[in-house]
C-alpha cells in the first residue's frame, strides 16, 4: 500500500509541475499556433495537403480530430496544453513501467519517472507539436516491445512494431522510418538459423554505416553533420554485436506477416480516413513522402557537440571491438564495464542535479549514445535472459531515435534521446547489484550509496523544475484571451497581446503574420487569407501559394499583418532571410501602424487607425505639466482616476490623477480611423464610455525620465476596480 501511495503522490507532483510549466509558457515563434490552426482547418475543411498546408503526416491530424470529436474539444492554446500533458505523463509512465519490470525496484521506477519527466521538459515549449505525440509513441513502442520480448511473444512484438511504426511514419516520416528500421533490424537478426542470423547481423551492421550517411547526404560536408553521423554509427555497431549474441530464432513467416499486415492495415485506415476527408492519393503521396524530402534543407539548427565527443565514441567503439574478440566474457571486460557504468552514472547524475555546465539531455545526446551498449552489455556468459534482450531492444531504439535531432537539433534532442534515462538507470542498478554480489563486504555500502545518489539527483532535478514552475505560476497572470483563458504570462506580454488582439478585432479583416503567428487568428477569430499557412511561409510555401495569399490580401482593405520584429531580425542574422514574392508585396503595400515591444501591427499604406489601448505623452508644457493622451474603446463604469505605474512587480505607482474640477479631462469621440467624430468636452468626471474616445489629462512633470516601455496606464473606477489597461507608446 505504501509504494502505491508514494507512486500516486509522485505522479500528482509531476502532473502539477507539468501544469505549472505548460500554462506559463508561450513561445514567440508560435509553433503551437501553426499546428493548432492547421488542425482547425482540417477539422473544418478536410483537404489535407490539397488546401490545408502542413509538414506533418495524416495520422497526427486524424488522431487529434478523433480526440476532438469524442471529447468535444476545441483546438486552442488551453486544450493543446492538456493534451501535451497527457503525452508527457504517458511517455514517463511507459519508461517507469519498463524500469520496474527490469528491476522490481520502487526506487528505480520512481527515479526513472522523475528523470524522464525532467528530460522531457521541452514539451512546454511547443504544445500540440507532433514531437509530443511521437514521444508517447516511441515510449510505447519501446516499452510494449520490451514487454513482448520479456514474455517471449514474437507475434505481439510484430503487432506493436507494425501499428506504432505505421502511426509514426504517418506522423513524421523520418522519425517513423527510424523506428521501423529498428524493428525490422531486430526481427532480421532474430530470424532463421545461425547462418541467416550472421548474414542478417552483417547486413544490419552495414546499414548502420550507410543509413546516417544517406539521411544526411546533402550537407554531409558540414562538420557537425559528419560528427553526428559518426556518433550514431559508432553507437549502433556495438549494439548489433549485442543483438547477435543474444539472438533467438523466434521470428518466422507468421510474425513477419503480423508486422507487415498490421502495419499496412493501420496505414490503410489512416490514409483512407484522410482520403475520405478530401485529400487525393497524389496529394497524400506528395504530403507524406515527397515534401518532407524537400523540407529538410529549409531550416537547420546545428548540434553543439561537447568536448571529447569523437574521442569518447572512438574509445567506446575500440573497447567494443576488443571485447568482441573474446569468446567468453572475461573478468577484465566485466570490470571495465562496471567501472564505466558507475563513472558515467556519477557524471550523468551530476548533470541531473545541475552540477555540470551542460544539462541531462545534452549528456544523453552526446555521451549517452556511445555509452548505450555498455549500459546493456552482459556481465556473464550465460544465454541472455528475456529481460536482458528487452533491454537491448530499448537501447537499440534509443540510438536510432537520436537521429530525430537532424536537421533541427532543438527540442528534437530531448524528444529523440529520452530513452537514455531508462537505459542508464537499469544499467546503473545492475552494476550496483553486481558489485554487491561479488563484494559482499561492500554490499550495503554500494546499494545504499548508489540508491541515495540516484534519489538525491532525481529529487534535485524534479524539485528544480517544480520550484521554477511554481514561481512562474505565481508571478504571472491569466492572459484571458479566447482559447487562452488558463494560459498565464508575464505582465508585459499579457498587455501586449491583449492590446494587439483588441485592435485586430476592431480593425481587422483577413489576418496574416510574419513569420506565421497563428495563435492571433485563434484569439481574434480573424481568418487567414488561405488555408496554406506555415510558420516559415516564405520558404515553405510555393510561389503559387504565396501569390494566392497576396491576391486575398489585396482584395481586403481591412487586412492586417502582425509582425514579430525580433524573430524576423533573428532569422536574417541566422542566414534564413524572409525574402520572396509575398514578402516583397508586404513591404511595398503595408506599413507599421503600431509597435509594442517586439510586435508590430501593419495595415495597407495610407490607412489610419484609432489605436485602442495605447497612451502617448506630450512634450513638456508651460507650468510644469505634461499631457497624457489615451485612446479608449469603451469602459464598463465611469472612470474616477488615471494612474501611471510600473509594468512589473512590485508595480510601483508613479502618478495618480483624480478626475475632478481641479484636474478635468478632455474627451473627444473618435471613429475607427482616429478622426474626431464629435466636439471635444472638458469634464470634471469621465462617464461610462460606450464609443471610442480620446482622453487627455494633465499631470505634473515627473522628476525622472519615464521609460515608456516599462509603464502601464490604468483606468480605475471609484471603488478601485481596473476598467482598462493601456501601454505607453511612442
Rounded CA separation 231/214 (Å): 15
Beta strands 722-728 and 614-617 are parallel
Angle at 89 between CA 58 and CA 432, to 5 degrees: 120
Do 480 and 498 form a contact (C-beta atoms < 8 A)?
yes
Rounded CA separation 585/559 (Å): 13
Rounded CA separation 588/201 (Å): 61
Q: How far is CA 198 from CA 46, 194, 280, 318, 381, in A?
A: 49, 6, 44, 21, 19
Angle at 584 between CA 583 and CA 589, to 5 degrees: 100
SS3 117: helix
Rounded CA separation 79/484 (Å): 9
Do 549 and 529 form a contact (C-beta atoms < 8 A)?
yes
Q: Find where cell 474640477 sits.
A: 661
Do 277 and 49 form a contact (C-beta atoms < 8 A)?
no
Helix, strand, coil % in the chain, rounded to nearest 5: 60, 15, 30
Do 553 and 572 form a contact (C-beta atoms < 8 A)?
no
Rounded CA separation 490/497 (Å): 11
Buried b (16+ CB within 10 A) or exposed e, 443-465: eeebeeebbebbeebbbbbbeeb
Rounded CA separation 540/633 (Å): 38
Give the residue ranges of the chain where pLDDT is below 70: 217-220, 294-299, 326-329, 619-625, 700-709
pLDDT of residue 329: 63
Q: Strand ranges (DSSP E) for 168-280?
A: none
Per the confidence metrics, is the pTM higher than 0.85?
yes
Rounded CA separation 685/659 (Å): 5
pLDDT of residue 2: 78
pLDDT of residue 662: 82
Do 687 and 680 form a contact (C-beta atoms < 8 A)?
no
Record the cell numbers describing residue 212, joined without a space: 546516417
Do 62 and 274 form a contact (C-beta atoms < 8 A)?
yes
Give the number of other CB atoms < 10 A from CB of residue 57.
28
Query: Using only C-alpha atoms, what is the Rg of the chain?
Result: 30
Q: Please report, for the chain, the start and end positions of each structural domain, with discontinuous segments joined by +.
A: 2-288+309-470, 490-604, 614-728
Give the number of other CB atoms < 10 A from CB of residue 332.
10
Q: Find where cell 505560476 sits.
A: 473
pLDDT of residue 29: 94
pLDDT of residue 298: 60
Buried b (16+ CB within 10 A) or exposed e, 682-707: eeeebeebeebbbbbbbbeeeeeeee
The DSSP code sequence of 327-353 is SS--HHHHHHHHHHHHHHHHHHHHHHT
SS3 726: strand
Rounded CA separation 409/399 (Å): 15
Amino acid at each position: 500500500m505504501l509504494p502505491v501511495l508514494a507512486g500516486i503522490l509522485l505522479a500528482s507532483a509531476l502532473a502539477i509541475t507539468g501544469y505549472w510549466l505548460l500554462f506559463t509558457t508561450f513561445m514567440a515563434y508560435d509553433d503551437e499556433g501553426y499546428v493548432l490552426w492547421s488542425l482547425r482547418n482540417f477539422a473544418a475543411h478536410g483537404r489535407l495537403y490539397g488546401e490545408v498546408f502542413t509538414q506533418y503526416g495524416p495520422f497526427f491530424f486524424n488522431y487529434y480530430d478523433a480526440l476532438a470529436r469524442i471529447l468535444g474539444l476545441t483546438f486552442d492554446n488551453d486544450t493543446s496544453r492538456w493534451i501535451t500533458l497527457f503525452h508527457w505523463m504517458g511517455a514517463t509512465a511507459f519508461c517507469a513501467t519498463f524500469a520496474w519490470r527490469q528491476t522490481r525496484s520502487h526506487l528505480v521506477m520512481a527515479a526513472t519517472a522523475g528523470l524522464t519527466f525532467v528530460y522531457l521538459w521541452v514539451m512546454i515549449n511547443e504544445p500540440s507539436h507532433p514531437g509530443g505525440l511521437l514521444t508517447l509513441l516511441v515510449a510505447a513502442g519501446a516499452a510494449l516491445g520490451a514487454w513482448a520480448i520479456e514474455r517471449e511473444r514474437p507475434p505481439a512484438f510484430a503487432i506493436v512494431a507494425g501499428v506504432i511504426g505505421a502511426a509514426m511514419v504517418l506522423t513524421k516520416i523520418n522519425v517513423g522510418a527510424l523506428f521501423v528500421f529498428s524493428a525490422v533490424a531486430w526481427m532480421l537478426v532474430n530470424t532463421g538459423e545461425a547462418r541467416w542470423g550472421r548474414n542478417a547481423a552483417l547486413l544490419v551492421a552495414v546499414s548502420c554505416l550507410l543509413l546516417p550517411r544517406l539521411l544526411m547526404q546533402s550537407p554531409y560536408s558540414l562538420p557537425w553533420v559528419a560528427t553526428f553521423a559518426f556518433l550514431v554509427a559508432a553507437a549502433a555497431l556495438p549494439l548489433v554485436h549485442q543483438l547477435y549474441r543474444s539472438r533467438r530464432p523466434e521470428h518466422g513467416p507468421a510474425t513477419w506477416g503480423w508486422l507487415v499486415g498490421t502495419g499496412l492495415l493501420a496505414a490503410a485506415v489512416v490514409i483512407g480516413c484522410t482520403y475520405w476527408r478530401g485529400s487525393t492519393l497524389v496529394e497524400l503521396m506528395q504530403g507524406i513522402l515527397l515534401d518532407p524530402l524537400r523540407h529538410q534543407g529549409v531550416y537547420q539548427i546545428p548540434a553543439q557537440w561537447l568536448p571529447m565527443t569523437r574521442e569518447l565514441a572512438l574509445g567506446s567503439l575500440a573497447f567494443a571491438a576488443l571485447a568482441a574478440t573474446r569468446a567468453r566474457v572475461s573478468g577484465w571486460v566485466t570490470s571495465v564495464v562496471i567501472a564505466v557504468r558507475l563513472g558515467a552514472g556519477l557524471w550523468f547524475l551530476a548533470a541531473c542535479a545541475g552540477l555540470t555546465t551542460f544539462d541531462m539531455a545534452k549528456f544523453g545526446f552526446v555521451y549517452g549514445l556511445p555509452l548505450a551498449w555498455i549500459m546493456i552489455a552482459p556481465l556473464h556468459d550465460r544465454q541472455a535472459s528475456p529481460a536482458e534482450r528487452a533491454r537491448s531492444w530499448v537501447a537499440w531504439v534509443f540510438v536510432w531515435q537520436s537521429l530525430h535531432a537532424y536537421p533541427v537539433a532543438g527540442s528534437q534532442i530531448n524528444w529523440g534521446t529520452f530513452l537514455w534515462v531508462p537505459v542508464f538507470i537499469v544499467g546503473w542498478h545492475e552494476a550496483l547489484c553486481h558489485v554487491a554480489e561479488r563484494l559482499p563486504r561492500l554490499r550495503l555500502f554500494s546499494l545504499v550509496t548508489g540508491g541515495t545518489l540516484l534519489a538525491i539527483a532525481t529529487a534535485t532535478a524534479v524539485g528544480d523544475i517544480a520550484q521554477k514552475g511554481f514561481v512562474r505560476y505565481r508571478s504571472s497572470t491569466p492572459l484571458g484571451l479566447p482559447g487562452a483563458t488558463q494560459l498565464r504570462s508575464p505582465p508585459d506580454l499579457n498587455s501586449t497581446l491583449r492590446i494587439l488582439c483588441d485592435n485586430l478585432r476592431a480593425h481587422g479583416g483577413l489576418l496574416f503574420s510574419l513569420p506565421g503567428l497563428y495563435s492571433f487568428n485563434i484569439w481574434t477569430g480573424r481568418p487567414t487569407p488561405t488555408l496554406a499557412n506555415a510558420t516559415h511561409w516564405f520558404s515553405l510555401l510555393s510561389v503559387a501559394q504565396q501569390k494566392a495569399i497576396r491576391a486575398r490580401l489585396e482584395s481586403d482593405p481591412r487586412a492586417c499583418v502582425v509582425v514579430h520584429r525580433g524573430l524576423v531580425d533573428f532569422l536574417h542574422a541566422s542566414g534564413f532571410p524572409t525574402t520572396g514574392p509575398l514578402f516583397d508585396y508586404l513591404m511595398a503595400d503595408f506599413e507599421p501602424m503600431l509597435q509594442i515591444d517586439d510586435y508590430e501591427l501593419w495595415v495597407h499604406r495610407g490607412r489610419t487607425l484609432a489605436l485602442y489601448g495605447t497612451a502617448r505623452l506630450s512634450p513638456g508644457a508651460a507650468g510644469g505639466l505634461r499631457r497624457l493622451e489615451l485612446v479608449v474603446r469603451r469602459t464598463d463604469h465611469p472612470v474616477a482616476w488615471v494612474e501611471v505605474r510600473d509594468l512589473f512587480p512590485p508595480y510601483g505607482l508613479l502618478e495618480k490623477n483624480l478626475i475632478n474640477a481641479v484636474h478635468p479631462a478632455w474627451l473627444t469621440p473618435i471613429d475607427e480611423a482616429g478622426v474626431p467624430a464629435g466636439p471635444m468636452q472638458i469634464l470634471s468626471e469621465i462617464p461610462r464610455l460606450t464609443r471610442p474616445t480620446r482622453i487627455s489629462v494633465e499631470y505634473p512633470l515627473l522628476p525622472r525620465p519615464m521609460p515608456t516601455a516599462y509603464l502601464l496606464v490604468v483606468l480605475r473606477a471609484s471603488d478601485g476596480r481596473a476598467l482598462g489597461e493601456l501601454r505607453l507608446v511612442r
